[in-house]
Structure 1
Amino acid sequence: MRSQFHPDKVTSQATKGYGRTMFNRLMSAAVSGCLLMLAGSPAYAYYSKDSYEAEVSFESRVEIAEDTPDYILLPSYINRQLLYLAGPLQAAPKKAAAKNDANVDILGRERDGKTGKHYVRYRYTGTFVLDNGLQDIVKVRLPLNLDEVWERSTDKCFSWGEKYRMAYFWAPLSKGCPLVDGVDYTTSNATILSKQTNTANTAPAYERLANASGEIRVVLTFGADEDRNGNVSPDKNSDYNAGNYRDIRKFLVNQGFKGHTVPVAERERDCGNTKSLAASPGHVEEYVRSDGGRRLVVRLFWGVTNIGEDSIAFFCMAKEAAERGSVFLYAGHSRVGLLDLTYMGEQIGTPIRMNKEQYQIYAFFGCSSYSYYNLSYFAAKASPADPEGRRNTNIITNGITGSFGSMTDFTTKTLKPIFDWSARGTRTSWQQIMNSYSERFLTGVNGDQ
């Protein structure tokens, strides 16, 4: 039976286990866009069948050491506390996710007269993607003491806590969780300040997908649920995501594509990296179809899509997509924002330079990719002629945890409109594409205009 859940996890020799070790890793990920506290961001057009964007504001507090200097408050306490934001938001009956474009204003310090504990108070204002059923107030729950919460929490305080005991899945209202409101965590009423209207009649810029040579290059990447399965052939593999890889191969063949395996040496030459792929090469097949004078090339990757050297083959695929591609689709664990272009370029030993002149569609079907792979990829695409990076970019994201069982549905329904346009000139709108997905994960298209 395939897993119904697609947890947002990081696993490597350096990050086995969670708790405080995971916190340290996540804190270092802040520069990768995971928790950047910005002074606000431009409003991007957005469409989803089950959600909308809005500016949200709430006040909260977090316990601090009495002698904490002011410059430590944001990185060491507030940002660290906000790592827990995703868990309660997606565990609620009506779900939401933060864009991580927030402005945080420190309101002051206070001492509790009864307990003697010291706190810093702050105001958070930023963009959320919200379930259509949320229209006025969003309940925000955050831990008060960031060290003691781990000691006092049990597996019952996390969604799927027996396996994924991490801040992303923290859920203090879960049945059996011993945490107490006002003692272990604080609850705030976040106010929805302004709502953005979803777009109504927009479409991908199909005509601009082809490059100057008339080629549309598509990079499809499927990451193994368990890293140990990433270097086993997808044809002899029981990994939850290997079945999706096989499904998409059949889909491509049924769409008239002809394929072959791409040798490792060829991929190394294409990548131009300084590190060999031999230790963890993954598996890549290339599928080609001609539509009149237009050529469609699809590179289909299976392998490890984590952090570190075991994922260099995947990083090379991300480089190919950024520099030569028209469409990049990622199906796998979100890795809490660590699949960052700058980081991946450093790992393969050569920078990843996005083709800022080419119109591209990015699709990240992972946990809360709305938070992780939204702003940073637009920023990487920005140029003097396109300072917001959205004229030549659309990004499809999930607001909450997706499932491996839905990845084939997501992939085929994202790609088929592109293939149909190339073959017959059919123009499927973004609204039709988003509405066609079978499951509800607050999935939407960003930069839709």
Structure 2
Amino acid sequence: MSDGIADIPIQLEQTRKSMADSLSSSDHVAELKHKIDDLQAIRQDFEGLPNLVERSIDKALDVMNAEPTASAEDLKSTVQTLSAKLEEIKKEISVTQTSVSRTIQAHMDGTRDEVSRQLRRVTDSMLEASKNFSSNTRLQEQELQTILSLQEHLVSNGIRPGAGPKDLPDFRKLALALENGEAKLNTEQPSVEFMGHSLNFDDLFSVYVVYKEIFLYEDYYAELGAEAPRIIDGGAHIGMAALYFKNRYPAAKILCFEPDPRNFELLTKNTAHLGEDIEKYNLALTDDGADYPLMRRQGQSMASSIYSRYTKINNEDGLVIKSAKLSDFLDAPVDLLKLDIEGAEDGVLQECKHLLKNVHYLFIEFHTGDQLPLSRLRAILETLDDAGFTYQIERAREYQIRMLHRPFTHLDQLCTHVIHAKNLTW
């Protein structure tokens, strides 16, 4: 028994040093808590030890009193040794508790300082982000207000027909509410009163861009002589172009092609009141009429494509869509052909080039990207030349603005062009 007790201070010292070393290298509060639990266990183990030793001393004294022998001096020596060891154990426990407590406190102080520094960095970052967000929101608000003011000016001067700001009272409010996080598109089907009826949509960004292109700048405006023109809308999205065409030409017959099922659902809903004048096809336009995986970009419904044009567009949901050849629909005259088909335009035109003589006006949005080199533009222009078209090419309006300042710095970036063409043999 005395040998075991004699080993205890050594074991205790080893344990204390091991704990101190471990604590000094610990970086996490969780590990500190674990060490504290170890210390509590040690305390529990040693709390009963003094009583055990004292009981052993008392028992030895009882033996001495009951049976005096020549070994009494030895027993007294053992008792004295046990008493001394008991005092050493008490001191070791006290030293260990004090040392570990100080180590824990030092680590806790260091952890609090590090957490405080991280909180300051995060707070500064959040303040900076908030400042940038507020600045961007003000710029977007100014741009929306400029658009509505310009439209009001055009309408008041009789420059163009169509909806004025009075017809779009909720559009700007909804735009700002979404940008500020006060409204969310996924709570219900968002819509806005537009040209006398509700326009249903999924993402405001696409509506905003398409609205500017179609209704403000009138990219699809053409002087069509027919009372009931035949129009093909390739890449119909949610139906805003069809609404524009029917507003200008109430008797128009329009064929709408939209491959994205969700866009097609909104297209159907937004044009339901137009009756049989609108033929809707849930198809992509391609050069072979095959099935293709549909690439989508989160938050931009107008960017769906059969091509992976950039990193943020993908086929995560595995959706495969059907397609058709444009030549199957060009057997009769087409007063206006609009192609905004996200990269398939060169192949589609090549496939139906022998029937382009039946097209009067042609609008093409030409896209580039990872799988869509700019060199494809040459083939499109050659096709138009061979078919007897005159044309003009320019960057899409969003890219025109970007290229106004330091245009050389933007040459390596994606760019979309638009082509307006007219058949001189019509």
Fold conserved (TM > 0.5)? no
Q: Whose relative contact order is higher, 1 or 2, with alpha carbons under 8 Å and at least 6 apart?
A: 1
Question: What TM bracket, shorter-length normalisation?
Answer: under 0.3
- Could you tell me the TM-score, scaled by structure 2's length? 0.23
* Structure with the largest fraction of helix: 2
